[in-house]
C-alpha cells in the first residue's frame, strides 16, 4: 500500500438499507466509512435495523458470498467477510449489495450505495441519518410471519392475540423508529471495539 493510500482521508458511503418484501417499507439511511470491513458492517446493520445478532448471516454481491467461513454450516465457499472492505464489493453510486440475516426466517436487506461523500469535520461514523418503522421481532417467521404477527397483535379477537403480545413482551409498535437511540448504540458499539 502506498503512503498516499495510507494517509488519504477515507470517503464516506451513504447507504439505504431496505428490508426486502416489507410493505410499508422498513428502511434505514446510514453513512459509513468506505473501507468498513464487511464483518464490521454486519454489526452496524444489526444495530441500525434492531436485530439481536443471534443468527447466521451473509452478504452477496456480484454472485459472490461473503460471511464467516464454516464448513459445518456449508459456508466453506464463502469469502471471509473479515478480509473484505465495503469498497471492494461496491464502488459506484447505485450499486447494490444483499445482506441476509437468519437463514431460517431469511431476512434479506438490500443495500444501495446512494452517495459517496467527503467526511464532515467532527462527524462520527457510522451514523444513522433517518429511517422508517420498527424492525420485526426475531424468530417471527420471516416477512410473512411478521404480517401474521401484526395481524394477531392488532386484533384483540384474534385467537393468537394474547400469546403474541406475551411473546413480544407486552407491546409492539410497528411504526417505532428512534434515530437518537440507534446512534447512541452505534457510538457504544464503536467505543467497545
Same domain, 11 and 34: yes
Distance, in Å, from the CA atom of 152 to the CA atom of 157, rounded to the nearest integer, reads 8
- Return left, alpha or beta for 61; rule: phi > 0 is left, psi -120 to 50 is alpha, else beta: beta
Compute mean pLDDT per 10 residues along the chain, 193 residues long, and list them.
Answer: 42 97 97 97 98 94 89 75 96 96 96 95 94 96 96 96 95 96 94 77
The SS3 call for residue 57 is: strand
Same domain, 75 and 170: no
Give the number of other CB atoms < 10 A from CB of residue 191: 7
Same domain, 138 and 128: no
Domain count within the chain: 2
Same domain, 24 and 83: yes
Same domain, 7 and 22: yes
Same domain, 95 and 152: no
Same domain, 70 and 156: no
Same domain, 82 and 151: no
Same domain, 73 and 36: yes
Same domain, 185 and 159: no
Residue 78 has a pLDDT of 83
Same domain, 87 and 168: no
pTM: 0.91
- Tell me the three cell numbers of residue 165: 403480545
Which CATH number goes with the domain that contains 79? Answer: 3.10.290.30
Same domain, 124 and 157: no
For every residue of 121-136, DSSP letters joined together read: TT--SSEEEEEESPPP
Instruction: Identify which of 27, 36, 38 has the alpha carbon closest to the alpha carbon of residue 119.
Output: 36
**Domain enclosing residue 42, as ranges:** 3-133+178-192
Amino acid at each position: 500500500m502506498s503512503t498516499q493510500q495510507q494517509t488519504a482521508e477515507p470517503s464516506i458511503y451513504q447507504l439505504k438499507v431496505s428490508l426486502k418484501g416489507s410493505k410499508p417499507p422498513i428502511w434505514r439511511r446510514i453513512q459509513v466509512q468506505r473501507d468498513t470491513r464487511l464483518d464490521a458492517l454486519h454489526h452496524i446493520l444489526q444495530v441500525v435495523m434492531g436485530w439481536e445478532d443471534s443468527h447466521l448471516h451473509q452478504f452477496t454481491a456480484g454472485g459472490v458470498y461473503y460471511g464467516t467461513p464454516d464448513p459445518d454450516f456449508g459456508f466453506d465457499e464463502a469469502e471471509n467477510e473479515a478480509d473484505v472492505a465495503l469498497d471492494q464489493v461496491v464502488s459506484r453510486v447505485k450499486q447494490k449489495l444483499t445482506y441476509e440475516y437468519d437463514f431460517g426466517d431469511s431476512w434479506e436487506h438490500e443495500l444501495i450505495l446512494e452517495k459517496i461523500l467527503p467526511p464532515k469535520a467532527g462527524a462520527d461514523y457510522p451514523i444513522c441519518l433517518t429511517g422508517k418503522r420498527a424492525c420485526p421481532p426475531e424468530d417471527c417467521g420471516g416477512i410473512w410471519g411478521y404480517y401474521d404477527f401484526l395481524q394477531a397483535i392488532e386484533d384483540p379477537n384474534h385467537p393468537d392475540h394474547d400469546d403474541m403480545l406475551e411473546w413480544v413482551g407486552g407491546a409492539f409498535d410497528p411504526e417505532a423508529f428512534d434515530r437518537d437511540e440507534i446512534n447512541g448504540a452505534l457510538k457504544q458499539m464503536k467505543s467497545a471495539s
